Chains A and B, each alone.
Chain A
């Protein structure tokens, strides 16, 4: 072994790539900016996706994960569909959301709390539960907004579009066994 050929240190960009299906395309970014220009929320982002990719390659983890960029992503896939280098941009945004939640960032947005409340009901009942979300997420995280939504909720309820009790699947044990195994395989708690 030559002493001059050292294994390259695993950098943050490698972690982002490893966690994203087809994430290696990230290295092909030509900084054209089509992504940010296509994004319905681009103007609200601290950094548009193009800039985020540059920051990722530069190892600026703290800057990226404390930004609002991924929380502004609404998964419309316009950037992904238009990217001339087939970068799975929306999926990279999902990866950044997961990393931010895992590493204690993401307090700048209510999105992590919504995701958590939503998946709580999926894990518990096998179905989503809007009334539960309304109380668990809105009342706990944003009581003022919850009050404003009250009237709308009542209108929905009047028209039979809101249920007070959750729907449940029969084989919840089976689903929960699958979830437990997946968490274990993914190294998540």
Chain B
């Protein structure tokens, strides 16, 4: 299994734990990730707020950089994934816009034919392409007893509805069941973490984060597993400030799903970016998994 790999800016620094754990689990699962050479930022939600055509062209450069020998591109970040997928779809459905995007790409000597690259989120690659049988066969340290709340957020499951159910996604739930974890039926698993709102207006942003943490607490969650750097940052790095605003005492570790997958596959913790989270996951992981 070979995929072009678009890490995205967050994975370089703030989501470095996602980066190392993605690469580690890919090696164990036999997924070959070929990093896109000289990829550029997807513009997140910010570029679309300013200039649609330029936003699309900036994103399309990455699609155009996928080597002709490859036809699948995977991204671990929800926002990067959606932007890449959206531009491919927009170009296919709106030839006028597609033509202009290609005219812009031509200024850099590039071209992209919509549909040439299939954009996949990393969760699809692991859950669907690698699949249950191969994953179960490689579990050496089951996550028995660990209560994991799978959190999907928004942009992997919406607006396009072909990755998973847009309201009640289940792929990460299934994955954690294969790993032996106790999966929390997390009611807010596809609700919003506030995205960039933490940077704009804290009362609104912190209320959205509070709802996610409160629900996790009510369901006796040991750890929240997420698949997006923004979600992780908001729930983890802002957790103490959310506590300050609402007089709460949340202390819930938030990890990338690949860190927990890596543990189950027997990858040493030090190779999975543990310890980079602000709310430390070490104590609960060691307490719950000590017997294994």
Q: Which residues of A contact B (CB under 8 A)?
A: 19, 21-22, 40-41, 44, 71-72, 74-78, 80-81, 88, 90, 94-95, 97-98, 101, 109-112, 114-116, 118-119, 121-122, 126-128, 130, 133, 137-138, 145, 148, 152, 155-156, 159-163, 167, 169-171, 174-175, 177-183, 185-186, 188
Q: Is the CB of B49 within 8 A of A167?
A: no
Say yes or no: is B52 at the interface (Cβ < 8 Å to chain A). Answer: yes
Interface size class of B (residues with CB under 8 A): 35 or more
Query: How far in angstroms is the closest Cβ of chain B from A125?
Result: 8
Q: Residue B39 contacts which of A71, A128, A169 (CB distance < 8 angstroms)?
A: A169
Say yes or no: is B199 at the interface (Cβ < 8 Å to chain A). Answer: yes
Main secondary structure of the interface of B (DSSP, over half): loop
Say yes or no: is B270 at the interface (Cβ < 8 Å to chain A). Answer: no
Main secondary structure of the interface of A (DSSP, over half): helix
B13 (CB) vs chain A CBs: closest residue: A163
Q: Is the CB of B237 within 8 A of A174?
A: no
6 example contacts (A-B, Cβ-Cβ < 8 A) are as follows: A128-B44, A160-B276, A178-B57, A179-B58, A180-B107, A182-B57
Query: How far in angstroms is the closest Cβ of chain B from A23?
Result: 11
CA distance A169 to B41 in the complex (A): 9
Q: Is the CB of A128 within 8 A of B276?
A: no
Stretch from B24-32, B152-160, B171-179, B214-222 that touches the partner? B152-160
Q: Is the CB of B196 within 8 A of A74?
A: yes
B15 (CB) vs chain A CBs: closest residue: A161
B90 (CB) vs chain A CBs: closest residue: A21
A-side contacts of B38, CB under 8 Å: 169-171
Q: Is the CB of A130 within 8 A of B13?
A: yes
Q: Is the CB of B167 within 8 A of A122?
A: no
CA distance A6 to B161 in the complex (A): 43
B109 (CB) vs chain A CBs: closest residue: A174
Q: Is the CB of B195 within 8 A of A175?
A: no
CA distance A149 to B94 in the complex (A): 42
Q: Is the CB of A178 within 8 A of B108?
A: yes
Q: Is the CB of A110 within 8 A of B9?
A: no
